[in-house]
């Protein structure tokens, strides 16, 4: 993949598509409700907000120098950080408009309040002065933004209710999203360390971090089993366990090549596949339960 393909890779936007899909499926499973327009507005809005986060993060990382050896950074490709920054802000404005329109159509502004919290966290992830990802809590931020906030807001967009099943499903989605970021850090360790970015991989070292990756999988599959056993989620959501056919080779690859940046970087398509398949199977399980 050339730098431009890597920079514009549409697969990374599954991080936004999956929460909307799962939240909408949770709403349908509970109420039988599906409003196509509300689904589209939530989907477009979240994709645009993720684009804002991605674009502005490129600019913020250029300021710290952490991306100086990253050929697929849009700032490095274009040499125009200000244009990238304002393009990101345009995406934020359009995304905010989509959620604002959704709230106006429903005459319910709870969605705007919740999405604003998500945007503030998204900015604090890399933006000054907090730069929370540099403090080693990036995975927590991604978990919250693209897990509990995105999934429950997407379900609320359909029902105007905060659903317990959507919250439970959001923990699964959030764990999948954190797994993407965690895997990404292995190939970036040298630049992260030099720039003072205290990712878990920098703090623990690649070998221990690779071993501790197992806890993300324990959390992922543990959530599924726990929520099905307790009746919070329906039994068809056990389909998510099928992602083990992809997560096992992912875990093995990272543990084998944890200290070889070029090779461990090849795990990124694998982890995106785990995330996307997990989200699809979770949504499918929720929808299936409605018809059983």
Q: CB 256: neighbour CB atoms within 10 A? A: 13
pLDDT at position 8: 59
Q: Is residue 2 part of a domain?
A: no
Residues of the domain holding 146? 11-291
Q: Is residue 100 part of a domain?
A: yes
- Residues 217 and 251: their CA atoms lie apart, in Å, by 9
Q: Is residue 1 part of a domain?
A: no
Q: How many domains does the chain have?
A: 1
- Residues 166 and 24: their CA atoms lie apart, in Å, by 9
Dump pLDDT digits (tens) for 257-272.
Answer: 999 999 999 999 999 9
* Alpha-helical runs (H) found in the chain: 3-7, 14-31, 36-64, 74-78, 81-106, 110-126, 138-144, 150-159, 164-187, 189-195, 200-204, 206-212, 214-229, 244-257, 261-264, 268-291
- Residues 229 and 163: their CA atoms lie apart, in Å, by 18
- Residues 113 and 119: their CA atoms lie apart, in Å, by 10
Dump pLDDT digits (tens) for 113-164.
Answer: 999 999 999 999 988 999 998 998 989 999 999 999 999 999 999 999 999 9
Q: Is residue 66 part of a domain?
A: yes
Report the percent of the chain where pLDDT is more than 90: 77
- Which CATH number belongs to the domain containing residue 226 in this structure? 1.10.600
pLDDT band at residue 80 under the 50/70/90 scheme: confident
Query: Does residue 4 carry a pLDDT above 80?
Result: no
User: What sign does the CA torsion over 111, 112, 116, 117 have?
Assistant: negative
């Amino acid at each position: 993949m050339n730098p431009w393909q890597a920079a514009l890779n549409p697969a990374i936007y599954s991080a936004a598509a999956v929460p909307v899909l799962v939240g909408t499926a949770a709403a349908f499973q509970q109420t039988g409700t599906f409003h196509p327009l509300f689904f589209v507005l939530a989907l477009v809005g979240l994709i645009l907000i993720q684009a804002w986060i991605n674009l502005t993060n490129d600019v913020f990382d250029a300021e710290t120098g952490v991306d100086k050896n990253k050929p697929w950074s849009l700032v490095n490709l274009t040499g125009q950080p200000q244009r990238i920054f304002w393009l990101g802000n345009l995406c934020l404005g359009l995304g905010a408009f989509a959620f604002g329109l959704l709230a106006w159509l429903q005459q319910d502004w709870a969605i705007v309040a919740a999405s604003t919290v998500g945007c503030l966290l998204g900015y604090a992830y890399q933006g000054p002065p907090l730069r929370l990802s540099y403090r080693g809590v990036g995975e927590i931020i991604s978990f919250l933004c693209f897990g509990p906030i995105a999934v429950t807001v997407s379900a609320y967009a359909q029902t105007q209710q905060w659903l317990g099943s959507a919250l439970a499903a959001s923990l699964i989605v959030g764990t999948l999203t954190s797994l993407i970021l965690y895997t990404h850090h292995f190939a970036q360790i040298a630049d992260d360390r030099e720039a003072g970015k205290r990712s878990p991989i920098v703090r623990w070292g690649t070998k221990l971090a690779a071993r501790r990756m197992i806890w993300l999988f324990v959390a992922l599959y543990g959530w599924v089993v726990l929520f099905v056993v307790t009746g919070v989620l329906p039994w068809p959501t056990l389909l998510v366990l099928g992602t083990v056919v992809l997560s096992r080779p992912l875990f093995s690859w990272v543990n084998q090549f944890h200290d070889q940046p070029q090779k461990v970087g090849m795990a990124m398509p694998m982890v995106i596949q785990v995330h996307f398949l997990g989200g699809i199977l979770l949504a499918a399980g929720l929808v299936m339960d409605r018809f059983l």
